[in-house]
Structure 1
Amino acid sequence: MVANFRRSLSFSTTPSPPPPSSSAAVKKIHFRSTSLPTRSHPIHFQLKYHLNQLKSQWAISDPTSGSLDLGRILDALTRIRTILECLDDLLDLAPSRDSLRRHPEWIEKVLEDFLVLVDVYGTFQMQISTLKQCNVAAQLATRRKDGLRTSVCVKGLKKTGREVFKLMPFLHGIREHDPSGYNVTESGRDTDPDLDVGGVIRGVVEAIVMISEAVFGGISGSFETRKSSWTIMGLKKSKREKGIGELENGIWSLRNYYEDEVMKKKMMKEMEECIDGIESGSERVFRGLINTRVSLLNVLTQ
């Protein structure tokens, strides 16, 4: 039977790569699985590990804490990409495909969720591109000491932040409806493997929504100047969202609240690096979402 196994997989016991700022070398120990995939397959454990780590880091939010940390956001986007890659590997296993094929209607509903996420991240990529353009124009205006042009750029950044916030209701819609019918929290105690695979997939969707809400809210909140109460697509914003420090400092410097030119350039540079980092991380998530949706489609069609 082992000879018919389609491929062997190599896994690292190191759960996730060290953060970019870490210079310490991490020794990786690999082991190879040649057994038939089961519920205890290493891919399954690796996927659940990343999900548990991500949820433990983000599920509890301190309302009294300051701005969101860029490094934390980039780490979360990287972990989401890793989770999607693990899910692709899980969906590539024959037992997983067989389990999911017994629930075609459920798979159709999950595919709808992933389609919404793909659309949301596709739109988000366009908004991030607009942010970059506004930021470049703002830096040029500040070097030329063109206050009028700088003011226009600030308005452009704020407008883009509001456009990003318009993506939030789509995420809330995914959160509010659960098409699975599976109890994710109890799936580990259930003997039915269908429940386990379905629960993991729902856990992945929930994690993506949770991180996306934090990122989108952080961007829109960074450009708000005062408490506001307004409604977009049925979603009321009654208070200022927690912003991202580098974006808040950048917009603050553009409003000429800080006259130190050296510090202003530093803040603008950090804002540029922040936008670039989020763009890169979200693009990888976007591509991962597309790949995962293709894998889910293959479950139904192959």
Structure 2
Amino acid sequence: MACHTRSVSLPTRSHPFLLKAEEELNKLQAYIGSSSLTCEIMLDALKAVGHVYESINELLCMSSNQNGFSHMQHRRWIEQELEESVKLLDICSTSRDNLDIIKYYVQDLELATRRGDLVASKCKLRDYNLIVKKASRDLKMQIFNKNESPEGDSLVVISLLLESREITISVLQSIFSYLSRQIIDQKSSKWSIVSRLVNKRTIACKGDAASIRVNVEELENGVESLFRHLIQCRVSLLNICSL
């Protein structure tokens, strides 16, 4: 996204882009707090996060905003966020790659159940569970610097970046939490679930493998879109540091 030149002061809490970002963040809190996650909710959450970063990027790209960040203290905050942005990009990229792996496991599971191969279906089910659990565990292990949110309107964009980073991790965690419940019925044994897969071609009464594969593909595309928004914000932060 190209940066636009604007003759305005540093953004305050009443700035339209900031208000838009805060509106989307409020939506995200509701999504994450939902007791019954669905693929639609997860896709909406990914879109909302993308809208937040679109607004942040617009704020960062404001010419006068960049000049305002030239102050040494302000630059320190920008440099810290630049460092953290690398970690967030890595996390998003890894999540995207894990979704791609999960997609192929679901495809293999679909093929095995169509053939009526109970043993192969059990193996694919185990593989699916392992990668979903690993992806969820990896996200929980991610540690960011606990930077305190800066005070005052002059650094409100930094505060927004801090909040957005936390909600982004929560959304990614929710995706794998959702996927972990698509195949496993905690009240049933894995073998009985595989039996139902082969005999009825259903997955824990939540839908067949084909529908889950489609959901994973949609989520993968959503994470890819989010990754591009994060890249744009990082470029804007780099541009500020180069002034």
Counterpart of 1:89, as a letter, is E
CA deviation after TM superposition for structure 1 residue 271, in Å: 0.7
Which residue is equivalent to 1:70? 39
1:72-99 CA-to-partner distances (Å, cap 9, x unmatched) read 1110001111111111111101232233
CA deviation after TM superposition for structure 1 residue 213, in Å: 2.4
In the alignment, the residues of structure 2 paired with residue 124 and residue 209 of structure 1 have an alpha-carbon distance, to the nearest angstrom, of 10
Q: What SS does the aligned partner of 1:182 have?
A: coil
User: What is the aligned counterpart of 1:201 among 130, 150, 161?
Assistant: 161
Instruction: Say whether 1:212 aligns with 2:172.
Output: yes
Higher relative contact order (CA 8 A, sep 6+): 2
In the alignment, the residues of structure 1 paired with residue 241 and residue 195 of structure 2 have an alpha-carbon distance, to the nearest angstrom, of 57
Q: Aligned pair in 2 of structure 1 residues 114, 278: CA closer, same or farther (>3 Å)? A: same
Higher helix share: 2
Which residue is equivalent to 1:182? 150
In the alignment, the residues of structure 2 paired with residue 275 and residue 82 of structure 1 have an alpha-carbon distance, to the nearest angstrom, of 21
Which residue is equivalent to 1:188? none
Which residue is equivalent to 2:215? 274
Q: What SS does the aligned partner of 1:101 have?
A: coil
TM normalised by structure 1 equals 0.67
CA deviation after TM superposition for structure 1 residue 198, in Å: 2.2
Is the 8 Å Cα contact of residues 81 and 284 (structure 1) preserved in structure 2? yes
Query: Percent same amino acid at aligned positions?
Result: 24
In the alignment, the residues of structure 2 paired with residue 252 and residue 278 of structure 1 have an alpha-carbon distance, to the nearest angstrom, of 28
Which residue is equivalent to 2:200? 260
Higher strand share: 1
Is the 8 Å Cα contact of residues 99 and 193 (structure 1) preserved in structure 2? no
In the alignment, the residues of structure 2 paired with residue 89 and residue 111 of structure 1 have an alpha-carbon distance, to the nearest angstrom, of 16
Q: Aligned pair in 2 of structure 1 residues 292, 125: CA closer, same or farther (>3 Å)? A: same
> C-alpha root-mean-square deviation of aligned residues, in Å?
2.9
Which residue is equivalent to 2:67? 98
Which residue is equivalent to 1:123? 94
Is the 8 Å Cα contact of residues 131 and 275 (structure 1) preserved in structure 2? yes
Is the 8 Å Cα contact of residues 109 and 124 (structure 2) preserved in structure 1? yes
Gaps of 5+ in 1: 1-5, 9-34, 184-191, 228-250
Instruction: Say whether 1:147 aligns with 2:115.
Output: no
Q: Aligned pair in 2 of structure 1 residues 153, 86: CA closer, same or farther (>3 Å)? A: same
Q: What SS does the aligned partner of 2:195 have?
A: coil
Instruction: Say whether 1:135 aligns with 2:112.
Output: no
CA deviation after TM superposition for structure 1 residue 279, in Å: 0.6
Is the 8 Å Cα contact of residues 46 and 226 (structure 2) preserved in structure 1? yes
In the alignment, the residues of structure 2 paired with residue 266 and residue 222 of structure 1 have an alpha-carbon distance, to the nearest angstrom, of 8
